[in-house]
Amino acid sequence: MAPLPHDELWMKRALKLAARGVGRTAPNPPVGAVVVKDGRLLGEGFHPKAGAPHAEVFALAAAGPAARGATLYVTLEPCAHTGRTPPCTLAILQAGLSRVVYCVPDPNPVAAGGAAVLAAAGVEVTGGVLEPQGRELLAPFLCAIRLRRPWVELKMAGTLDGRAADRFGASRYITSEASLRRVHRMRDRADAVLVGGRTLALDDPQLTCRRVPGGRDPVRVIVDPMLHHARPEQRIFSTGTSRVILCVSDRLPLKARERLDGTPAVFLPLPGDAAGRIRPRDLLAALFGLELHHVLLEGGPGTAAAFLEDGVVDRVHFVYAPRLMLDRESLPVLASDRPRRMDEPFALSNLRVRHVGPDLWIEGEPMPTEDHPPVLER
């Protein structure tokens, strides 16, 4: 059935509800739903966490018996399988809904097919309403299903001449308070925040969401293959409420871990080369296995460049403060040992530029390649 004029209005409401679950539902997607009859909202809900009832169930419970003959708007095609909870198609049919409108088809082959089940039972079904907006909201889930790895957003901050820290390593805080609040909101929406060992040593970050009222701390991931940088007195081991995962090389002697005894660090050994380096793809595969589907990568320069070169960054956020360092020995925003000519730069697409306070934010996606297919279709 073709969309009706008011379908987008109610789907926008469902998308707004779904956004309340972002960062809290992995490995499930964030989903919102509303029940409407004769232009009147009867009930609404969103999926709060894995194992809890789905958005459709909350919305139908709020609507009660009045849901019979109503329309359900939901941001993801209703599931048709029994997992941690019963299939949503069963709840929809039992409620006696006459029409279901969904935003994004379910890409999970295990759960997909709900639209066909409902249509076969005589329910009118309309799909694809505000689908681009829905795919944006579901990007980490779509990436996890399609590529079997987390969705990776890279955030790097620097001066207008591209420097991330002075020659002594100091980098806190280059950008404004407005930008810092925005970064903390990004952390609140991510399953994990990741930095390299040198950033841990130079910045001593907490990697929390303390600037977000009611925010929750993401899992904090440190990449320090040979434990050159992690120290028990660093703040990350005594602040925050989330796990701290230390990604180390499988070549690291077990005795080297002893200095972190007594800290809450959880070690994650990964294959390392002769120099102790860990490939980003291997690291992300391990995080995917831990049901972390959205990673916010916050540097430093070498770690960020390694992820870009391995083709596993899905979106970039470069934040530039209105300052100039004017020091050739200061640290660049990105740093790789690989020689690169001017006619083979890393290309970005879908650029968006905005001001956040006094700072300039540039966002975009790496150009798709054979090794890095697009997660979101533009």
Backbone angles phi, psi at 154, to 5 degrees: -100, 125
- Asked if 239 and 210 touch (Cβ cutoff 8 Å), the reply is no
The SS3 assignment for 365 reads strand
Instruction: Output the pLDDT for position 330.
Output: 93
Say if residue 341's pLDDT is above 90: no
Matching fold, domains 5-141 and 149-366: no
Q: What angle do CA 312, 145, 34 make, to 5 degrees?
A: 120
Rounded to whole angstroms, what are the CA distances from 195 to 90, 170, 174, 280, 308? 44, 16, 17, 12, 14
Q: What is the CB neighbour count within 10 angstroms for residue 84?
A: 10
**pLDDT tens for each residue of 364-378:** 999 877 666 666 654
The stretch 145-154 carries a mean pLDDT of 97
Q: What is the dihedral of CA 302, 312, 281, 208, to 10 degrees?
A: 70
Instruction: Output the pLDDT for position 372.
Output: 65
Arch. (CATH architecture) of 5-141: 3-Layer(aba) Sandwich (3.40)
- Residue ranges per structural domain of the chain: 5-141, 149-366
CA atoms of 185 and 179, how far apart (whole Å): 10
**pLDDT tens for each residue of 93-143:** 999 999 999 999 999 888 789 999 999 999 999 999 999 999 999 999 999
Q: Which two tokens stand for residue 133?
A: 């907006």
Instruction: Output the pLDDT for position 263.
Output: 94
Q: What angle do CA 228, 164, 196 make, to 5 degrees?
A: 30
Instruction: Output the pLDDT for position 370.
Output: 67
Q: What is the DSSP string of 318-354?
A: EEEES-----TTSEESS--SS---TTS---EEEEEEE
Catalytic (active-site) positions = 56
Instruction: Output the pLDDT for position 376.
Output: 64
The stretch 2-31 carries a mean pLDDT of 94
Instruction: Output the pLDDT for position 378.
Output: 46
Nearest to 276 by CA among 297, 299, 253, 260: 253
CA atoms of 19 and 16, how far apart (whole Å): 5
CA atoms of 346 and 343, how far apart (whole Å): 10
Say if residue 147's pLDDT is above 90: yes
> How would you classify residue 270: left for phi > 0, otherwise alpha for psi between -120 and 50, otherwise beta?
beta
Mean pLDDT value across the chain: 94
**H or E segment at 11?**
helix 7-18
The stretch 39-54 carries a mean pLDDT of 96
CA atoms of 243 and 268, how far apart (whole Å): 12
**The CATH number fitting domain 149-366, selected from 3.40.50.1820, 3.40.430.10, 3.40.640.10, 1.10.579.10:** 3.40.430.10
**pLDDT tens for each residue of 294-312:** 999 998 999 999 999 999 9
Q: What is the 3-state secondary structure (H, E, C) of 108-156?
A: CCCCCCHHHHHHHCCCEEECCCCHHHHHHHCHHHHHHHHHCCCEEEEEE
CA atoms of 42 and 66, how far apart (whole Å): 7
**pLDDT tens for each residue of 171-203:** 777 899 999 999 999 999 999 999 999 999 999
- Asked if 50 and 79 touch (Cβ cutoff 8 Å), the reply is no
Pairing between strand 294-297 and 151-159? parallel
The pLDDT > 90 percentage for the chain reads 85
**pLDDT tens for each residue of 261-303:** 999 999 999 999 988 899 999 999 999 999 999 999 998 999 9
Instruction: Output the pLDDT for position 279.
Output: 97
**pLDDT tens for each residue of 312-336:** 999 999 999 999 999 999 999 999 9
